[in-house]
Chain A
Amino acid sequence: AQSVTQLDSHVSVSEGTPVLLRCNYSSSYSPSLFWYVQHPNKGLQLLLKYTSAATLVKGINGFEAEFKKSETSFHLTKPSAHMSDAAEYFCVVSDGPSNTGKLIFGQGTTLQVKP
């Protein structure tokens, strides 16, 4: 079965320092992987997605993620955090066997950015 594990429920960084949000996945198929962000009282917004093309994926707002098959990881990074990055982040895998595109979400990581 497909699954994702976000290794940290809460990450705190100072403004201007790097961000690393960790995600491991489990899939018996070639997965499609996504990162979504949810700001307080806002809807889910796609940051980036991996769909078997380039392993280094660039997204919006300076975020990027690298697909590493050997490590079954899809960690999200950003070189320099901004206050507006404070939000909840979800690592997501698309359900391969059903091929419907239904998404399987990780438990989320809350990113706190300190001034």
Chain B
Amino acid sequence: GAGVSQSPSNKVTEKGKDVELRCDPISGHTALYWYRQSLGQGLEFLIYFQGNSAPDKSGLPSDRFSAERTGGSVSTLTIQRTQQEDSAVYLCASSLVGGIQETQYFGPGTRLLVL
């Protein structure tokens, strides 16, 4: 079956512009996660959605970052007024349900470069 998909695969933007990154989770998965992979910080958690519950935003690095999940499926991560330090690969993952024993399936990522 189809895995997690993300778009665009690559994004180049200028400092100060806003960007939107999209994630389509595996059908039927109620939990969705965003992570960021950067050279300096490694892989770090950003935000978590589970069903209709309030998202866990504890990993968002600043208020320029936000995310939403519409209809319990597709999610969009928005970065406003991008900075060069936002350059990274943004990874989306989904799991059947949330929880510490669940397997997360990762998408291929969106590579963001801020000039």
Contact = CB atoms under 8 A, between A and B. Distances in A.
Interface string B89-115: 001010100111111111111000000
Interface stretch (A10-18, A43-51, A75-83): A43-51
Interface string A76-115: 0000000000000010001110111111111110000000
A24 interface: no
Interface string B32-62: 0101000000111100101000001011000
Nearest to B3: A43
A49 B109 CA distance: 22
Interface residues of A, number: 27
Contacts of A43: 4, 91, 106-109
A96 B103 contact: no
B107 A102 contact: no
Interface string A37-56: 00000111110010110000
B108 A94 contact: no
Given A43-B109, A90-B43, A108-B42, A100 B104 contact: no
A94 B99 CA distance: 8
A53 B103 CA distance: 15
A46 B34 CA distance: 17
B88 interface: no
Contact of A102 (B4, B45, B91, B106): B45
B31 interface: yes
Contact of A101 (B31, B58, B59): B31
Nearest to A97: B100
B59 A94 contact: no
B77 to A, nearest CB: 15
A101 B42 contact: no
Contacts of B99: 99-101
6 contacts: A42-B108, A95-B45, A95-B100, A99-B99, A100-B50, A101-B31
Interface of A: 31-32, 34, 36, 42-46, 49, 51-52, 90, 94-96, 98-108
